[in-house]
Structure 1
Amino acid sequence: MLLNSFFKTSDESINLLKEEKTTLREKQNKTLEADVKSVLDYRAWIQAKTNCTFDSNRILGIVAATKGAENYLPYTIPKIIQQISEIGMMADIIIGLNNGFECPTVIDRFTLIQNIQIIHLYTGEKLANNIPAPIFDNIMCQGKPYCFANIDPKQCRHRIFVVHQKQGQYSAGKIRVLGDIYGSLLLKSIEDGWIPPAILVTFDAESQFLVAHNDSVIDLESNGLKLILNQLQTHPEIDILGTRNKFAVYQNTILDGIEVLLPDFSAELPPIQWFIDIVHGRFSGFQCKWGGGTFGKTDVIVSLLVVISINYPGIRTEDTQLTILAKYAGFIGDIFLDVISTNRTPSTTDMTTEQLQKKAWVEQIYRWLASVEGLKLLYGEHNIKMLVNHGFPWFTLTSPITFVKLLFENRSTNFYEFINKIKLIALSFLYYQKIKSHTSKSPDILQGTKAKAYW
């Protein structure tokens, strides 16, 4: 009798767990479906307002910046504008200075760029972490909010819009200033009749777009942006196109009399970042379109980032969430492996500046995994695992020949080198699992008043 009672109780517990799991999956599916519907609704609204007409003479670029960005922007902004000029187009670059951050010396240097116009914009009061602040063309934030105006297609001037986000309780964090740019400035301008550029690029302060046909040969003087644009123009069916991520340790360099940070591609990478570089864009689970270099149709990217920034003010990996929503919205996307976008990583010896010092490269991965853990709870691991790897990289076993070829592409293939790489892969996986176990206990809070203001 007692044995029967035990088995009955066990069966009931198992059934209860199954029901809870099913209920959770249904909730996660509904959340994903609701977000996808919002994205598609915004896109339909944009297409209706613009009558599906977009400016093919200009490219829109958007970057969020905070303390430290002054070390990169003096090089990357002129370089991106130069690359756009080389393909015979004009640039509209929006720089969002987050939460009171200012870099006046850097902005002043932009006036030296040929055929440039600098426009300063200012955010008004941000009433909540998920409410876009109005944006004005005067520091007093008076009058009607600023809207982009349509200009003569023959106007051969690049424009840089510097959005000075007011410091405030709800302003801190990259996603918050992006929310003001996408959810306020761009949407209101479109509503007011503005015809935006057809192509939009998201990038980071340190981003460079370079041609690299394999991991060993990076053409430092190449125009990767031109290659990406050509791919989009040749394949108009593509809605969103990512670059291949390339981590690099950055080093101090004097450029035109000022100190900047530039990537040193010869410097040793931390193990996880090294592994990600090899497999990004090539295997299931590593298909994320990184925010440091994603190109696409403006109506597509605006729709995605408006929904993300308004609904999830605690997200740290808006690019990962963008990749997920783009897939389920049915947008056609790809990662263009011949072009890299540079992404800064700390060296293996760098430490954080906190009182309790930690390895900086480990903290970089921790931040990413904590945010991914939040997305996993939001949408369900079953919905994101093909795009975002959160477990063992099975392709190392199912496609070993392809993987080994990538490991040794244009590199030494002697026995010593082979053993070292195998050790590095094992080390990467062990570190990854250790970090993952910590983040699973403290996932990022993506919504509500408890959503932290991360950068």
Structure 2
Amino acid sequence: MFTTKLLLLSEQPTKFLRGKEITLREKQDRTLEADVKSVLSYKAWINAKTNNLLDNTRILSIVASAKGAENYLPYTIPKIIQQISEIGMKADIVIGLNNGFECPTVIKGLTSLSDVQVIHLYTGDKVANNIPAIIFDNSMCKGKPYCITNIKSHQSRHRIFVVHQKQGEHAAGKIRVLGDIYGSLLLESINNGWIPPAILIAFDAESQFLVEHKPSSIELDSNGLSVIVNQLKKYPQIDILGTRNKFAVYQKSMFNGVDILLPNLAEQVPPIQWFIDISHGKFSGFKYHPGGGTFGKTDVMVSLLLLISEKYPGVRCEDTQLSVLAHYAGFISDIFLDVISINRSPSMDEMTNDQTPKKAWIEQIYRWLVSIYGLKIVYGEHNVKRFANSGFPLFILTNPLVFLKSVMENEKIQLYTVIKKIRFLLIAFLTFQQILKKSRKHPDILQGNKTKAYW
């Protein structure tokens, strides 16, 4: 009898905790459900305003930029314009200069490009971290808000919209300038009759879109953008296509007389970044659409990023959140493995500029993990894990042959390098566990006044 009582008493806390866990899970599911509902509502509004008609002659491309972007934009923007031109289309590129950041030399260089019109836009005060600032066509920020308009085919030129975001308390951070672009410029323009391009590209300052053949053969002069756009045209049922992530260490170079940074694909990236490259798009836990290279239908992409920037001003893994929302909203999406987008990785020996310097490649992964934990608190591990795995990658054990094939496809491996790669894999796993333990203590806060400004 006494033993039975003890057993019954011992079960009570467990039942209580289980009940609490279920309540939290339900709360997370309801949050996700509400966000999906808002995304679909935005999409319906855009479709109603445009009468389900979009511009098939242009491609909309959006990038948020901060200090350091001047090292990449002089190369990547002309390259994207070239790739869009090669498929017989015109570009509408929006460059968001975050929180007072300026790069006049870069903009001057873009102005000198042939068949390109540069339009300068300016934000007014950002009154809160989740309220988009009004955008004007003059630095005094006077008159009516600026709206993008459609231009006649005989006047067709590539357009670069440079959004100078005013420095302010609520402005700092990638998601904040994206909020001004999506929630003010694009939304106001659609509301006033602009028919946006059918396809939108989200990319980073250093992004390059290249074709990769197996095993590990990257065409340096290829047009990966063209391949993905053609895929979207060929299969109109697809809403979103992400590129496959490819980390690279960048090195100093020169382009058109300007000092820039270009990827050195021959240099070994750090172990965790190497593992992510192997796994991205192929295994559960690595199915996110990268912020450095995601293509999609404009009404879908705008709807997703409107919700994220409006409701989660502290997020810095907006690409993973977009992937989660797209999946549960029922949008058809995938990772196109034949096209890579280059993502900058620190070198093995690069250190941060902190008072106490740390290994930069470890800090890059740490920033990713704390942002993912913040997202999991909001939506729940069960809703996020398909896109961002923060546990042991079980597919190594359950599908070892498939994983080994992915390793060999990622780079040309000889027998004598196998031991080196096994050692690299062990370092990746052990280091990841250490970062994981640390990051769990400091998850990002995604909502409210306590959100930090992140890049």
TM-score, reference length from structure 1: 0.98
Aligned partner of 1:177 in structure 2 is 177
Q: Partner residue of 1:320?
A: 320
Residue type of the alignment partner of 2:430: L
- Answer yes or no: is the 8 Å Cα contact 1:200–1:297 preserved in 2: yes
CA contact (8 A) 1:209 1:340 kept: yes
Gaps of 5+ in 2: none
Read off the aligned partner of 2:238 and give its amino acid letter.
I
Residue identity opposite 1:299 in structure 2: D
The CA deviation string for residues 309-336 of structure 1, in whole angstroms up to 9 with x for no partner, is 0100000110010000000000000111
Cα offset for 1:374?
0.6
Q: Quick check: 2:215–2:408 contact (8 Å CA) kept in 1?
A: no
Counterpart of 1:441?
441
> Which residue in 2 is equivalent to 1:10?
10
- 2:122 alignment counterpart: 122
Q: Secondary structure at the match of 1:211?
A: strand
Cα separation, 1, equivalents of 2:68 and 2:49 = 38
User: Which position in structure 2 is the counterpart of 1:134?
Assistant: 134
Superposition deviation, residue 423 in structure 1: 1.4
Which segment is superposed worse, 95-104 or 8-17? 8-17
Displacement after TM superposition at 1:12 (Å) = 1.2
Q: Do residues 36 (structure 1) and 36 (structure 2) align?
A: yes
Find the counterpart in structure 2 of residue 454 from structure 1.
Answer: 454
Partner of 2:309: 309
Partner of 1:413: 414
Aligned partner of 1:383 in structure 2 is 383
- Which residue is equivalent to 1:105? 105
Within a 5 Å distance, the mapping from 1:15-414 to structure 2 comes to: 15-214=15-214, 216-409=216-409, 411-414=412-415
Letter in 2 for 1:83: Q
The alpha-carbon deviation at position 5 of structure 1 amounts to 4.7
Please give the alpha-carbon distance, in whole angstroms, between the structure 1 residues aligned to 2:295 and 2:257: 32
- Give the aligned CA root-mean-square deviation in angstroms: 1.1
Deviations 1:256-297 (A, max 9, x none): 221100000001110000011011111111101001000000
* Seq. identity, %: 65
Read off the aligned partner of 2:275 and give its amino acid letter: F
Q: Measure how far apart 1:179 and its partner are.
A: 0.2
* Distance (Å, rounded) in 2 between the aligned partners of 1:238 and 1:153: 27
Q: Which moved more, 1:48-57 or 1:6-15?
A: 6-15
Partner of 1:429: 429
The structural deviation recorded for 1:174 is 0.2
Cα deviation, residue 55, structure 1: 0.3
Moved segments of 4+, more than 6 Å: none
Give 1:215 shift. Answer: 5.6
Deviations 1:145-169 (Å, cap 9, x if unpaired)? 0011121133331000000000000
1:118–1:161 Cα contact (<8 Å) kept: yes
Letter in 2 for 1:310: E
Is 1:83–1:226's contact at 8 Å kept on the other side of the alignment?
Answer: yes
Q: CA deviation at 1:395?
A: 1.1
Instruction: For residue 336 of structure 2, give the secondary structure of its aligned residue in structure 1.
Output: strand
Letter in 1 for 2:158: H
Measure the CA separation in 2 of the matches of 1:431 and 1:38.
39
Distance 1:313 1:154, change over 3 A: same
Output one character per residue of 1:122-146: Cα deviation in whole Å (capped at 9) or x when no partner. 0001010000000000000001100
In 2, Cα distance between equivalents of 1:2 and 1:167: 69
Whether the aligned pair in 1 keeps the contact of 2:246 and 2:277 (CA below 8 Å) is: yes
For residues 39-83 of structure 1, the C-alpha deviation after alignment (integer angstroms, 9 at most, x for no partner) is 000000000000000000000000000000000000000000010
Q: Once structures 1 and 2 are overlaid, which stretch shifts more, 403-412 or 84-93?
A: 403-412
- 2:176 and 2:215 map into 1 onto residues whose CA distance is 34
CA distance in 1, matches of 2:232, 2:4: 66
- Structure 2 distance, partners of 1:77, 1:166, is 23
- The CA deviation at 1:3 is 4.7
User: How many Å separate the matches in 2 of 1:170 and 1:283?
Assistant: 37
- Asked if structure 2 preserves the Cα contact closer than 8 Å seen for 1:54 and 1:196, the reply is yes
1:387 Cα deviation after fit: 1.8
Aligned length: 454
Query: d(CA) in 1 for partners of 2:406 and 2:5?
Result: 57
Supply the distance in 2 between the matched residues of 1:310 and 1:254 (Cα, whole angstroms).
39
| Deviation at residue 412 of structure 1 after TM alignment | 3.0
**CA offsets 1:326-355 (integer angstroms, 9 cap, x no match):** 000000001111110000010000000010
Q: 2-side partners of 1:170 and 1:285: how far apart?
A: 33
- Conserved 8 A contact 1:62-1:95: yes
What is the alpha-carbon distance in structure 1 between the residues aligned to residue 419 and residue 53 of structure 2?
56
> Partner of 1:149: helix, strand, or coil?
coil
Deviations 1:408-431 (A, max 9, x none): 2362331x3111111111111111
- Aligned with 1:282: secondary structure? coil
Q: Secondary structure at the match of 1:16?
A: helix
Deviation at 1:4, TM superposition (A): 4.8
Report the Cα offset of residue 2 of structure 1. 6.0
What SS does the aligned partner of 1:83 have? helix
**Any conservation in 2 of the 1:98–1:173 contact (CA below 8 Å)?**
yes
Contact 1:215 1:278 in 2 (8 A): no
Distance 1:80 1:214 in 2: 24
Residue type of the partner of 2:161? F
**TM-score, normalised by the number of residues in structure 2:** 0.98
Q: Is the 8 A contact 1:213 1:337 kept in 2?
A: no
Equivalent-residue separation in structure 2 for 1:149 and 1:407 (angstroms): 47
Distance 1:302 1:214 in 2: 33
